[in-house]
Structure 1
Amino acid sequence: MSRLIFTFTDSGAGGLKAARLADCVISIEHRFVCGRLPASGDFDALFAPRAAAHGTGPHWLDNLTGRSIEAAHRQGLGLIEFCERFDAVDLWVGPDPNSQLQLIWLLDYLRPHANVTSRLAVFQTNHIIGEQQPAELAAWQLQLVPIRGDHLEAAGVAWTAWRASTPEAWFNLLRQDLGALPRLRSSVVALLEELPSRGSGLGATEMRLLELISAGHVHPYELFPGHQKLNDQKTFDYWEAGALLDGLAHCPVPVISGLVEGPFDLAMHEDPDRHQRYKRSRLALTALGQAIVAGAGDFSQHNPIDRWWGGTKLTNDRLWRWDAESRTLVAP
């Protein structure tokens, strides 16, 4: 029986390839936890057969290599047509919020195609897939759960909620039965916690950055989230955490001082001198940063807010907040 595995991180794909559990392993990685979400039509063009795609835009096969997909490249297969070539299609999903968002997006995207959903099974884990040994991954395969109608229904409701123009539908997921997708509830909460806090105007990861500086961790890379790191927030990746730190240091009224260089982008990383200066930065909290950590300051009262949270555009005039103490959503 031919088997295809989709996972949502490159490290996870590497581990699954090493375990030799399938004829083909593919990582589909979109970042849905921050930034403006793609329009539905963008996905249709990206995953359509190449001949049917509009113009010369990106195609889902562009960055994929390997013997198992050579024919797909030659024929310009769409995602649906590619899945139909396999008897089984497995989804291996980590616990982080972005992987959970990718799971609900992919299930919702595949939902109209019964000839594909009938082949789907999912395995969800609390561990980082790419850090596991091949023998462990082989044992996990026995825990695959066939996708049923309730999985597809829950994914559709959740993806619609994340794309909504206010956080209310996402918050309302906490009142719904999400048992079909058992790792989703914790991600719902984690993403709500990244809304501006009712008191500080900062999300949970931003607050953790300030708390670590206050505790004496003064170099940028000491603050970044990651496996076995002091910052145990799992919502944002390396590049996103760097952008958050930039935003706290390079704004009209900074909450962090001492950050040398920036922005935190590929150009800085490729310049050894600039990157070294960045790494040697010694950070400190400004007066506003100290006030925020003490519970007496609000970032949004001193700085502009202009960012996306799912389908919600957050601005100072339209600032949805999260009250962690009462676990409630606060409307503008």
Structure 2
Amino acid sequence: MTHPSTDQITTPFSATSTAAEVVRGVDLTGRRAVVTGAASGIGVETARTLASARAEVTLAVRDTAAGRRVAADITATTGNKAVFVSQLDLADQDSVAAFTAAWDGPLHILVNNAGISGPPLTRTPQGWEMQFATNHLGHFALAQGLHDALAAGGDARIVSVSSSGHLTSPVVFDDIHYHQREYERWAAYGQSKTANVLFAVEAARRWARDGITVNALMPGAVQTNLGRYIDDAEMARLRAQMSGGDWQFKTTEQGAATTVLLAASPLLNGVSGRYFEDCAQALPAEPGDERGVAAYALDPAAARRLWEVSEQTLAG
């Protein structure tokens, strides 16, 4: 089932739906999933819910000890013993290459969930700004490295976890890594989250012939380790802003719902290249909006340019 781009995708689910509700009645037996950043936050609930639907799930995490604790908990709560842990540091291209080289057999679901948000200016050894390097370039290399496994899976899905933070910045191609302009951590985060949407747009176009669908999403406001660079005063300010704005804080179970919808629900068969929030396709955002999707994040020309720049960057 394909959907003309003019159709707005809606589902019976909403902002308050949980991941478990979204997959009720869905059987993922025989399907293999990788979830990055699955040792904390919504990544844990995403992995747990896929496992509860009987998928084989690999937790791709930096901290394998934490990953093993989560895997044991998921097995205990779901009865699914096919929950595995693999080391993956998205800021380290050697780690990404090792993960993809070690993957064997088909892959059906790739959830690019891991991310960092708002650190002080930090660079990788290559000089790349850390948020862009982790949130976009690491996942870009991971998806490329797993492309053949996804193509072999048949009807494979990639889920790119973005954020409403993308509304703060397009990808600034003239100075992605803040070598000339002054570093502003939330603009840098926004740029990386825009890149997550642009990746979905271009991967959807390039990989459609391989039966791979790719969508991006805003999970909602969930207090997780992603906020570890936010101090108490700034968190209080954000909470006050949200209480008067469009967003309400979600539980991790609610925060994982849109991710799981895109990863597993038959309602999304054939849907690709789109951005979702609160279990529905997002509406276009106007300047100043806190919700919706920016036109620059869906721009096909920017998506194509980002892909080419990313390939060049990784090639060194």
Task: Give the TM interval when normalised to the shorter protein.
Answer: under 0.3
Q: TM-score, normalised by structure 1?
A: 0.24
Q: TM-score, normalised by structure 2?
A: 0.25
